[in-house]
Structure 1
């Protein structure tokens, strides 16, 4: 929680009367009327909930290559137009077009139960017909020769290829309620089970992709996995490795049920309908919006957030929260700072989830912007308030970021830990694309809200997980940072600081290399 009492006490000492309130948090008036207007607008006329509803509830997830991704691109351009902001969709490549349909999974024997699960992204369709087949578990074999001998037995069957978790309870639940001995035993059992399953997979001599292809080529009716995210009700859902038969993820509870039935000789049967459409190669886009600078139009300050998501839920905190934060920031800046000294750009990137492809393509295609970039501010790790800001390895970052942050209300900036010069981002999110090219791209890194377990790439990353008061705080932060970076009479240096030695190898640190974008994805 923010330190409201201390903040108000400080304001009283300064003789300042506070007029702006947000969720019981007070902000002092600054000496700059534009900053005051930014804070007031963000708190009293926020559009975040409306933007989130339109993007997450109406359009939904934004998997690269899907119609929903293109719908989101067009929605953003139209929304910016209503605010008087110029925006465009910029094609940078092509991707395998695919559209998710209905997934329905039932256990039909030895008892009836509708199971919780979904097909993976880009999974082949059942083509309008239900699969009705026995489910079996990938066996423990002596070696790869024994696996090849077993392989023909999968014909017409559904094959479970994931570890059955020892417990469907999160570790925190065990820590809260188990005895010390019970907790220790559970951890030992989990470690042993994971090691045994790794050994089982290793004996096939196939990696995950080639194992799925071997099973489908041997005539398997489908692949069943579980990718539990170690929390209540959450699975991570990525892409399918199969090309002819569907791959579905079952919840930890239902995967365990089917697994135990198969292992006990009960011959469970499942009925699966898994619909999807292949759409051929489709354009992949970045959405770029711009507020043109008046004094230095060829110098740039950028906002950045990837637009695409995985598609088991709504892509709310990854990265709907970053997307609407940047849109709200642009709306506020256009309203109160319509004639910036430097040009303000925002990049809503496509295919971040497959390797930062949209931002990497932009960096390749716009060297003039990269060369003349004052600063880029990226947000991608969930709905929480920003708590970390690193200099990303730039030698002069300490000369600029602290003085820009000085204009930010104390209740926001006092929660932010800075580190200079910091280490350059080698991946993870789109600021790394700019850092690799030698341009100052900073990550506005947020507090967790159990992001890694409960929303990152999961089937529960939906509107209800948004913490709008913290996104509002982030929009204020981003708007003020952009304003200050635009107004700064000095140009930020792109000079790189000397890197420390690798702590593991002792070798000198190296700057991350620039990586080319994959401009034709999802195809062999």
Structure 2
């Protein structure tokens, strides 16, 4: 009888402990949601970063200014923060770019010099515009090259339409839409062939034109959206490379084809700054019980500079900053250390996060989990296990604490494909750390804001970013509190028993979360 009473008492105590933990978790989630919804700082942070500081191209003064701003902001919240240098990069600062058509009529053109493009040294350069010819082969191209001297050379195809596909789908006939797509495909293939026959590529062609004495290189990388151009880096070192919006590029192209010999004038006032430090920006809330184990929030800080990097990756940055602010307010003494990494130079090959992994093996080996966000302003709708065999167990448990209106929209894939992807979590997955991407719904990210001249503050959907900050803060809290260290066991490819060769991955278990563990 005594033994049974003791067992009953123990069971009640255990049940009480579980109930207490559930109550504590519920209160913490409630506090996170209340802080995020009633005292959100997202819009102010977004204004200060995107409007006040602007784009954060690696090697520019704005990247350093943004890092100093973030450090000061974290410190104002009582969170320790610092910048951590990991290398050097070509320093460059954008100045005014002014492009005008001056013949056969006067018109200011929409365009800009590309990142790291040389300046015009305080001068305005005027020259005729010519189109890259369709030559027979590389020999013929070399024979033509002297003709570029003193001229601006157009190296992009002329788009057959300036309307995005969704416009054609809504208003055009099926026949005209299909006709346009066939024409565009044919013209694209023909232009690629034109480039190939020069014996060069998109990197070496501008360099050859520069060497031959061209006044500058003119391109237009349209993104299939109204007024949207992709903006990347220049491949010239002495003459400017400029990107002109589709509408004005088409105008110049048609005038040139028509024999009017248009002329443009270009002034580009950028500055070369020599080699400058590159760095990550790190902040942390120290753990109280397991300070040497880490929950990491992750987002790259750098951007291209055609716009202000609002959705790539300003919104990821805001999500992680707001999550850290909320956690410091409502969960100031986490069990594990909660660290946030704002990585530099992601756009050039995940350089900042890869450097952190290399420089901090003591942290990497003790990562409980890492959550990265980097594909636009939308609410999180996808979470993959990244090939970690038991990710479904711990991520599934943590997700049960997330409010249903957020959780129910997230598709989960277990175990998911191993490896990384196109953002910084890949640097950690590559060394076996449990790192995951909080992947967002589109909001036309791929063709409207990603690496474009329209990636600006007004494209941020703050309700979705707020949802992501709540999700991130809850997951970080749950990961910090979890009594169990996460498993790093990876799924392995099945082996064909007859040949010994790796087989294919089975179809992932995909679920639309409605609550509970799937």
Matching residue of 2:189:
195
Q: Secondary structure at the residue paired with 2:94?
A: strand
CA contact (8 A) 2:386 2:420 kept: no
CA separation of 1:510 and 1:328: change in aligned 2, threshold 3 A: farther
CA contact (8 A) 1:425 1:431 kept: no
Q: Give the one of 81, 87, 96 matched to 1:87.
A: 81
What runs of 5+ residues in structure 2 fail to find an aligned partner?
A: 1-22, 506-518
Q: Secondary structure at the residue paired with 1:442?
A: strand
CA separation of 1:31 and 1:101: change in aligned 2, threshold 3 A: closer
**Aligned: 1:218 with 2:188:** no
Matching residue of 2:420:
426
Matching residue of 1:257:
251
Q: Secondary structure at the residue paired with 1:58?
A: helix
What runs of 5+ residues in structure 1 fail to find an aligned partner?
A: 1-28, 512-524
Matching residue of 2:137:
143
CA separation of 1:154 and 1:362: change in aligned 2, threshold 3 A: same
Q: Secondary structure at the residue paired with 1:230?
A: coil
CA separation of 1:51 and 1:254: change in aligned 2, threshold 3 A: same
Output the CA distance in 1 between the equivalents of 2:310 and 2:299: 13
Matching residue of 1:516:
none
CA separation of 1:509 and 1:384: change in aligned 2, threshold 3 A: farther
Output the CA distance in 2 between the equivalents of 1:500 and 1:438: 19
Correspondence list, 1:67-106, <5 A: 67-106=61-100
**CA deviation after TM superposition for structure 1 residue 404, in Å:** 0.3
CA separation of 1:69 and 1:501: change in aligned 2, threshold 3 A: farther
Correspondence list, 1:385-400, <5 A: 385-400=379-394
**CA deviation after TM superposition for structure 1 residue 181, in Å:** 1.5
Output the CA distance in 1 between the equivalents of 2:121 and 2:431: 45
Output the CA distance in 2 between the equivalents of 1:225 and 1:192: 19
Output the CA distance in 1 between the equivalents of 2:332 and 2:49: 25
TM-score (norm 2): 0.91
Matching residue of 1:491:
485
Q: Secondary structure at the residue paired with 1:32?
A: helix
> Computing the radius of gyration over CA atoms, which structure comes out larger, 1 or 2?
2
**Aligned: 1:333 with 2:327:** yes
1:417-440 superposed Cα distances (whole Å, 9 cap, x missing partner)? 111110124330000000001001
**Aligned: 1:157 with 2:113:** no
Matching residue of 2:267:
273
Q: Secondary structure at the residue paired with 1:72?
A: helix
TM-score (norm 1): 0.90
Q: Secondary structure at the residue paired with 2:269?
A: strand
Q: CA RMSD in A?
A: 1.6
CA contact (8 A) 1:209 1:241 kept: yes
Output the CA distance in 2 between the equivalents of 1:92 and 1:107: 44
CA separation of 1:510 and 1:224: change in aligned 2, threshold 3 A: farther
Matching residue of 1:361:
355
CA separation of 1:510 and 1:210: change in aligned 2, threshold 3 A: farther
1:143-173 superposed Cα distances (whole Å, 9 cap, x missing partner)? 1111000000100000000011111111111
**Aligned: 1:113 with 2:107:** yes
Output the CA distance in 2 between the equivalents of 1:476 and 1:343: 19
Correspondence list, 1:168-179, <5 A: 168-179=162-173
Matching residue of 2:280:
286
**CA deviation after TM superposition for structure 1 residue 507, in Å:** 6.4
Output the CA distance in 2 between the equivalents of 1:288 and 1:110: 54
Correspondence list, 1:410-425, <5 A: 410-425=404-419
Matching residue of 1:443:
437
